[in-house]
Structure 1
Amino acid sequence: MHLLLPRWLIAIEPRGVLTDHALVIDGERIVDLLPAPAALARYPEAEVTRLPEHALLPGLINLHAHSAMTLLRGYGDDLALMTWLNDHIWPAEGKHVSDEFVFDGTLLAIAEMIAGGTTCANDMYFHHGAVARAALSSEFRMMVGCSILEFPNAYAANADGYIRRALECIDEFRGENLVGFTLAPHAPYTVSDDTFRRVITLADELQIGIHCHIHETQDEIAGSLKQHGVRPLARLAGLGLLGNHLIAAHMVHTTDEEIALLARHGVHVSHNPASNLKLSSGFARIADQLAAGINVGIGTDGAASNNKLDLFAELRLAALLAKGASGNPEALPAWQALEMATLNGARALGWDDRIGSLRPGKQADVIAVDLSAAGTQPCYDPVSHLVYAADRNQVSHVWIAGRNVYAAHRHLSLDLADAQARARRWQSRISA
């Protein structure tokens, strides 16, 4: 039994800030949330962690990531998306991506994410087993997205090969608490109608989600109009892809009709503000999507297009962009931004019964943020500070499924020096 005693406790469900309260963890789960004096009296034998200047809140959820691409951080910067992909990223991946590359890159990403208060990521990449093993070895929660494309790389020769390898991996890790899977058709411009139909059928049979880049750029939309005669979302709707099993990454360019379509089908959206800006993809209509009732979470995308996996930075950017793009200073207030990075992400993954808020019965994915720094003083509203003023370096403690994986700014579930050394070896190989 473990009692956490923060200055502020932000459970997300319900909204509000509790003071002088305790969160009680037993094994993997939260078992109680009650005033601190009552907790100390009820659980006199429990281990106690006092967090006198800290906000305690659910771990952040990165709803769209390519974790292994940390090894390509800063590689081919300041380019348009398709130039960046065709001339830099895909050639580098074709030469270097392997089980070892993906494990090492994912491990580095996990080290960065845990230290920044992220306890769960929705990934999309190749060598899915390596992603799962990196997560399990570092006690990190990971939704492993099994990428599917038509064209070959070292991992698979065609869409059938990608799907076969995905199914093998899903079967291998079945039953793991910290690891789940989605089928991840890369994008409408890299996946055929027949493959999309097969993905839909398999996802339904396996009762798993689908994760796909959609409407990221105007070029994607123009290409679809030329090839298929309709915009990508209309094509996917015709194929039957839209539904509450789908996480649509980016959704930058949406009409009123498309926003209504997404809402009607219960599609989840991952908003990736820094990546959208860096690749000049555009400004997503997030305020309008939220107003329509769409469940929107927040993602970083990969470190190659961001260039960091920092959800505190994304929180602030998402809130400010929503205000600027809509002309409404009340658009996306701090509370809603924080919900996007926690409970909304959990809902998108189908894991809101286990994570995303600090509610008894849920698994204890919890972070503590020290707000005593000069940049977060004075503190009238800890929620406001978490979104607009705090940074990831103020995360002091992290628990995932009840296990303390980061304490006093030190990793407890992975060897940071080893992860950094692996990254340096890959830098030497890629530079050469």
Structure 2
Amino acid sequence: MERILIENGIVVTQNDDREIIHDGAVAIEDDTIAAVGPTDEVAGAVDADRVVDASDHLVIPGLINAHTHVTDILLRGSCGTDRGLYDWLYNVKQPGTSVMTPDDHETAAALYCWEAIRSGITTFVENDAEMRYGATEMLESKFRAFERSGIRSIYARGVRDLPPDEGFEALIETITAKEPTVDHPDQHEYTAETDEWVAEVESLIDDYHGSADGRHEVWIAPVVIEAMTTEGLQESYRLAEEHDVMTTIHTAEAPEQEAGAISSIEKLSNIGCLGEHALLGHCVQVTDRDLRLLAKTDTRVAHNVGSNMALGNGFAPIPSMRDRGVTVGVGTDNSILSDQVNMLGDLRLAALAHKGHHRDPGVLPAQEVFDMATIEAARSIRKEDTLGSLEVGKRADVALLDVDHPQFTPLPDVIRALVYQARGTEFDTVICDGSFVMEDGEVSLTEEYPDLRQQAIDAASRIVEESGLAESDHS
């Protein structure tokens, strides 16, 4: 058992009182927080094996990314943006990810984790929407990188059991016609029968849930409600309850998805698929009735402000959700939409965007925004008892942010500084589960992948060529 003492820092506890301890310390024993308090009290009571001097640092809980996509990071910057949801999905993301090899998936996962760690993230939820049924070799490669990263990875296996009908196939044909040089995959390749999906996910849970010394989890993720049968949605929620995990679904993201007789959220409510085991991504196109149903069922929401703005889909009514008591976590979503894996950057974006959208400068205070990446994000994934704050007995996920920079000068309000002044690149030490995953700015993962940056550049170049994206008029 290793005892670590972090001392002389500004400790942002995120406990119930949102206590901030100047000249504070955090003591870690093995994988657990053993003490939090003033340095002179904690240091005198701990016989530490390692001491970290956190002078000129904020000591915060490891950040939690409630909704993200890992694989398409290799398409970042090479295939054009300024597209709507379906144009981007069918003409960019699917063609690019469909030609990726197992090695590409491992490279993408390692690159993602490298960037996430440097941004203070210790937990992320990946909604893997474009992985074909039975892609075991791809998943093994991805999970290998996740384990080597040392941080917490929640892999939500994307499932679809309803092929597109004739009308939607015609729409896809119209959308993809604008990119004749691109190799568009057949949509039927992404679907399988409900029982096949359930069997695969249960197998993944048996093989991988709780692996990586407990840091890796497996959930189930119906990709979108319109690509699922009622049976498929119900079986997904049943599986989540049975295995005490969660479902996570892209919900009410674009206006086109809410053109039916009832809303997506009302449908999920009617068939028994809302509740504490449901984390809904986006929830942009929602009504007051939808918000009431979310609050009534204790359904959680992942707010993806960067991608929602990039696709021109609008703003989820986060202030109204919070007023009703809906738990909300922030997600960075796709790095080819929000451009970077940077939680603090997205917190600033969320805080400012909602002020402007609602024409109310007080609509979303800095503390509430920071909560959505820490303690409230932990609740959004049902882990508020173990993650999201620096408290005795919780898992030792800690990030140190260097404030010896001009943008933090002066520093009268720590929370406002984290939300509005930080660039998200000032972290130099990150601990997950009591182990250093970044120390003095060096990420340990890069020792496993010493040529990672060049591997990613080479893989990205080949993927763009093989998929036909290189010849796109919108590259």
Q: Normalized against structure 1, the TM-score is what?
A: 0.94
Q: Say whether residues 1:164 and 2:199 are aligned partners.
A: yes
Secondary structure of the residue that 2:218 maps to in structure 1?
A: strand
Distance 1:354-1:82 versus aligned 2 partners, 3 A rule: same
Tell me the alpha carbon deviations over residues 219-277 of structure 1, each in whole angstroms, 9 at most, x when there is no partner. Answer: 1111xx1xxx2121111111111101111000112211111111111011100111000
Contact 1:129/1:169, CA 8 A, preserved across alignment? no
Partner of 2:97: 93
Encode CA deviations 1:24-71: one digit per residue, 9 max, x unaligned: 011111001122112222224442111111100001111001111111
Equivalent position SS for 1:20 = strand
Structure 1 residues 347 and 131: CA distance shift in structure 2, 3 A: farther
Q: Write the letter of the residue equivalent to 1:9.
A: V
Q: Please list the CA deviations of residues 297-351 of structure 1 after superposition, one character each: whole Å capped at 9, or x if unmatched.
A: 1001111221111111111011112222223222221111111001111112122
Do 2:100 and 2:463's aligned partners in 1 also have CA atoms closer than 8 Å? no
| Counterpart selection for 1:67 from 67, 70, 79 | 70
Distance (whole Å) between structure 2 residues aligned to residue 359 and residue 263 of structure 1: 27
DSSP-derived class of the 2:90 partner: helix
> Are residues 136 and 143 of structure 1, via their aligned partners in 2, closer, same or farther at CA, if it must alter by over 3 Å?
same
Q: Is the 8 A contact 1:145 1:183 kept in 2?
A: yes
Q: 2:375 aligns with which of 338, 343, 352?
A: 343
Amino acid at match of 1:118: I
Question: Of 74, 81, 84, which residue of structure 2 is paired with 1:80?
Answer: 84
Query: Map of 1:300-379 to 2, 5 A cutoff?
Result: 300-379=332-411
Q: Is the alpha carbon distance of 1:57 and 1:170 closer, same or farther for their aligned partners in structure 2, counting shifts above 3 Å? A: same
In structure 1, the residue matched to 2:32 is 29
Deviation by residue 1:377-425 (Cα, 9 ceiling, x = unmatched) = 0110111101000111111110000111101211123336432232122
Q: Residue 304 of structure 1: SS of its match in structure 2?
A: coil
The answer on whether the counterparts of 1:148 and 1:162 sit within 8 Å (CA) in structure 2 is: yes
Find the partner of 2:442 among 410, 413, 421: 410
SS in 1 for 2:231: helix
Give 1:210 shift. Answer: 0.4
Instruction: Choose which of 135, 149, 154 in structure 2 pairs with 1:138.
Output: 149
After TM superposition, give the deviation of residue 121 of structure 1 in Å: 0.4
- Kindly report which structure 2 residues correspond to 1:220-259, keeping only aligned pairs within 5 A, or say none: 220-222=257-259, 225=260, 229-259=261-291
User: CA offset at residue 128 of structure 1?
Assistant: 4.1
Task: Report the residue type matching 2:10 in the other structure.
Answer: W
Tell me the alpha carbon deviations over residues 353-374 of structure 1, each in whole angstroms, 9 at most, x when there is no partner.
2211101111111001111101
Aligned length: 426
Contact map agreement 1:312 1:391 (CA 8 A) in 2: yes
Match of 2:7 among 5, 8, 12: 5
- Distance in 1 between residues matched to 2:287 and 2:246, nearest whole Å: 25
Corresponding residue number in structure 2 for 1:218: 255
Q: Does 1:386 align with 2:386?
A: no
CA distance in 1, matches of 2:333, 2:48: 43
CA distance in 1, matches of 2:194, 2:88: 23
Q: Which residue of 2 aligns with 1:148?
A: 159
Alignment correspondent of 2:60: 57
Q: Tell me the equivalent position of 1:116.
A: 119
* C-alpha contact 1:296 1:340 (8 A) present in aligned 2: yes
Q: Contact 1:128 / 1:144 at 8 angstroms: preserved in 2?
A: no
- 1:49-108 CA-partner distances (Å, limit 9, x unpaired): 1111110000111100111111121334111101111222222222x1343332221111
Partner SS state of residue 341, structure 1: coil
Contact 1:353 1:362 in 2 (8 A): yes
1:305 match: secondary structure:
coil
**Partner SS for 1:230:** coil
* Aligned mates of 2:196, 2:103 — CA distance in 1: 20
Worse-superposed segment, 126-135 or 179-188: 126-135
Inter-partner Cα distance in structure 2 for 1:424 and 1:417:
14
Q: 1 CA distance for matches of 2:48 and 2:283?
A: 50
Q: Secondary structure at the match of 2:64?
A: strand
**Offset, 1:195:** 1.1
Change (3 A) 1:116 1:6: farther
Q: Which residue of 2 aligns with 1:182?
A: 219
Shift of the 166–99 alpha-carbon distance from structure 1 to 2, 3 Å rule, reads farther
Name the Cα RMSD after superposition: 1.7
Closer, same or farther: CA 301–321 of 1 in aligned 2, 3 Å: same
AA aligned opposite 2:91: D
Task: Give the drift of 1:154.
Answer: 6.1
Is the contact made by 1:76 and 1:89 (CA closer than 8 Å) also made in structure 2? no
Give the secondary structure class of the aligned counterpart of 1:79. Answer: coil
The one of 192, 195, 199 equivalent to 2:236 is 199
Q: Which consecutive residues of structure 2, in runs of 5 or more, have no partner in the other structure? A: 132-137, 164-186, 466-475
Q: 1:292 aligns with which of 318, 324, 334?
A: 324
Mapped to 1, the partners of 2:293 and 2:404 lie a distance apart of 45
Q: Secondary structure at the match of 1:424?
A: helix
Judge which range, 329-338 or 96-105, deviates more: 96-105
| Alignment of structure 1 residues 42-53 onto 2, 5 Å | 42-53=45-56
Contact (CA 8 Å) 2:33, 2:396: kept in 1 or not? yes
The answer to whether the 8 Å contact 2:304/2:330 transfers is yes
Residues 260 and 329 of structure 1: CA distance in aligned 2, closer, same or farther (over 3 Å) = same
- Is the contact between residue 430 and residue 438 of structure 2 (CA under 8 Å) also seen in structure 1? yes
Amino acid of the structure 2 residue aligned with 1:276: N
